[in-house]
A and B are shown apart, each in its own frame.
Chain A
Amino acid sequence: MTVDRTQVVLVVDDSRVVRKVARRILEARGFTVEEAEDGSRALEACRRAMPGSVLLDWNMPVMNGLDFLKALREEFGPGNPPVLFCTTENDIDRIEQAIVHGAQEFIMKPFDEEILLGKFEQVGLL
């Protein structure tokens, strides 16, 4: 079976619970979910096969979300794949930083199904 890569969401988060919640929500809407537990593994996953979009946590060991985002955009160019950044610390500075480094949207944790899917819709993935 071949997977339509545009329908793949790479969920990058060091919390297994968050990955599981996101997987459940996204799979119910027909996405294929791949997981990575830190930025460096996520980057490896992107090099192997680029996902259609990335749901990205900010605070992670080994390589945090922002460093991953910078590395991703540097290596593969701007804009693609869309990245939805999410974090509990949602001050304006963080959001601006995410924008500057090429995130398409920002999700404040804790998120629920409506917010997550709403943001996917907002960036044109749904």
Chain B
Amino acid sequence: MTPLGFETLATLLHRGSGLSIGPDKLYLLETRLAPILRAHALPDLDALAIRLRGAAPELERAVVEAMTTNESSFFRDDKPFAHVRTQALPRLHATRPPGARLRIWSAAASTGQEAYSLAIIVAENRALLGTREVEIVGTDIAREPLARAREGLFTQFEVQRGLPMQMLVRYFRKDGGNWRIAEAIRDMVSFREWNLLGDLRPLGTFDLIFCRNVLIYFDTPTKARALEAMARQLAPDGLLYLGGAETVLGVSDRFASLAGDRAVYGLTPPTAAPQAAVPQMRPLAAVR
């Protein structure tokens, strides 16, 4: 591929989804964009790049979507979900006025396992929450995974990754060779197409934000921008959950990690030093 062609694609991806792709990832472009080349009868990536230099918004979004990694699983890494169950939900419920709705955001929802895991936690804690409403919003830039998320149908392989069998029995039913999420769980979650790098304000304010395993694909300035924007959508006492390989350290000073946990963050008060942040939080108890 010519340097100019590569540049065209890399720029488009960076602008479209924040994806930062170096020349060492040429093979990724080749494998993931092959179906698009075929569908548009284009001989190679250079031809695609040329096509993209004209106005081709649908093709652009197809390229951006094809380059996303949509890997996910239920209760992925377990720890953040355990934190929601044992710390965040009980505290939010205790401190919020009765009747106030809690809002949870799965900001890179992909095929929906993260949002549904959160909905299952809420369902499991109904006794604690009483009649309090909990709204879960799942957003992603990619349409195809979102359509699967809405459908709520998972393969045998997918329901065996991270999902305890008690949860499988309680919240899924067999549908052919696949497993369908219970309607009660599906109805707790709404999925919307949304770019994390776009205007997030219409989504409103959230008490908990799960933004896991997406910042890893961004370069530092883009990570900083996304974190800054999410900080504005987070309630003052809300929490942000990042993926195992992600951190705000050296990227943004809007968040400070809760004592003892690299994956859970609270907002830093505008004036206080980061280490003094969110003193009301107790450290994460040993979970698992």
Contacts and interface: CB of A to CB of B under 8 A. Distances in A.
Interface stretch (B17-25, B123-131, B160-168, B203-211): B160-168
Nearest to A84: B165
A74 interface: no
A108 B161 contact: no
Contacts of A124: 288
Interface residues of A, number: 19
B225 interface: no
B78 to A, nearest CB: 8
Given A99-B166, A99-B169, A92 B160 contact: no
A107 B156 CA distance: 10
A107 B157 CA distance: 10
Given A92-B173, A92-B174, A124-B288, A99 B165 contact: yes
Contacts of B160: 107-108, 111, 115, 118-119
A37 interface: no
A105 interface: yes
Contact of B164 (A92, A108, A122): A122
A38 B249 CA distance: 54
A114 interface: yes
A50 interface: no
B161 A105 contact: no
10 contacts: A90-B174, A92-B173, A108-B160, A114-B161, A115-B157, A118-B160, A118-B162, A119-B160, A122-B162, A124-B288
A108 B156 contact: yes
A68 interface: no
A4 interface: no
A90 B156 contact: yes
Contacts of A106: 165, 168
Q: Ordered nearest first, which 3 A-B pairs have the shortest CB separation?
A: A106-B165, A115-B160, A95-B169
B245 to A, nearest CB: 18
B165 A95 contact: yes
Interface of A: 90-92, 95-96, 98-99, 103, 105-108, 111, 114-115, 118-119, 122, 124
Contacts of A91: 174
Contacts of A99: 165-166, 169
B188 to A, nearest CB: 21
Nearest to A85: B165
A53 to B, nearest CB: 15
Given A108-B160, A118-B162, A95 B174 contact: no
A115 B229 CA distance: 37
Given A99-B165, A106-B165, A124-B288, 16 more contacts: A90-B156, A90-B174, A92-B169, A95-B169, A98-B165, A99-B166, A105-B164, A106-B168, A107-B160, A108-B156, A108-B160, A114-B161, A115-B157, A118-B161, A118-B162, A122-B164
Contacts of A114: 161
B80 to A, nearest CB: 15
B165 A105 contact: yes
A106 B166 CA distance: 9
Contacts of B173: 92
A115 B288 contact: no
A109 B174 CA distance: 15
Contacts of B156: 90, 108
A105 B160 CA distance: 10
Interface string B137-168: 00000000000000000001100111011101
Contacts of A111: 160
A106 B168 CA distance: 10
Contacts of B157: 115
